[in-house]
A = this chain, B = another copy of it.
């Protein structure tokens, strides 16, 4: 199953076989059944996770008990409470499995050692983090400039195939609209296509 991670790395940087093997062996496999929690508020978060199989959501529960989905992750995505992971602060988010999932976890101390040994990984994570930064900027901007229908189309291109795997109300929550509005948008797009 680690071949999937190797392929993911090779799309961004070129490594020797031994470097690649060394890297993928730094990960530990974590299995998570549907509805179980990977991270909860208050946790010390020392790991980030690459999704081999399954689907997860990261969300914030506000003081009124309202859920706000910050991120989904499917195969080939990374997930964690990144503020807690990078900033070494207690977690604020929940990260929960939507489907039974298999993850590869890497520890931040091990990553630091890796950067010293194989600096090419600085490049890999610089490029991955730049993409994450852009998608986060895009999300801020898209709430300002786009209609709900346009945001739904963006969502389908960011998370291809995910719309069949995730409940309507989850997607509506991520988009910041009511489930009824999402159903209406989907019907309109079907008629138009």
Contact = CB atoms under 8 A, between A and B. Distances in A.
Contact of A68 (B83, B122, B133, B144): B144
A65 interface: no
A159 interface: no
Give this chain's copy count: 2
A63 B136 contact: no
Interface residues of A, number: 30
A145 B63 contact: yes
Interface in A69-114: 70, 82-83, 86-87, 92
Interface of A is mostly: helix
Interface in A115-130: 115, 119-120, 122-123, 125-126, 129-130
A70 B138 CA distance: 11
A60 B145 contact: yes
A137 B62 contact: no
Contact of A115 (B123, B133, B134, B145): B123
Interface of A: 60, 62-63, 68, 70, 82-83, 86-87, 92, 115, 119-120, 122-123, 125-126, 129-130, 132-134, 136-141, 144-145
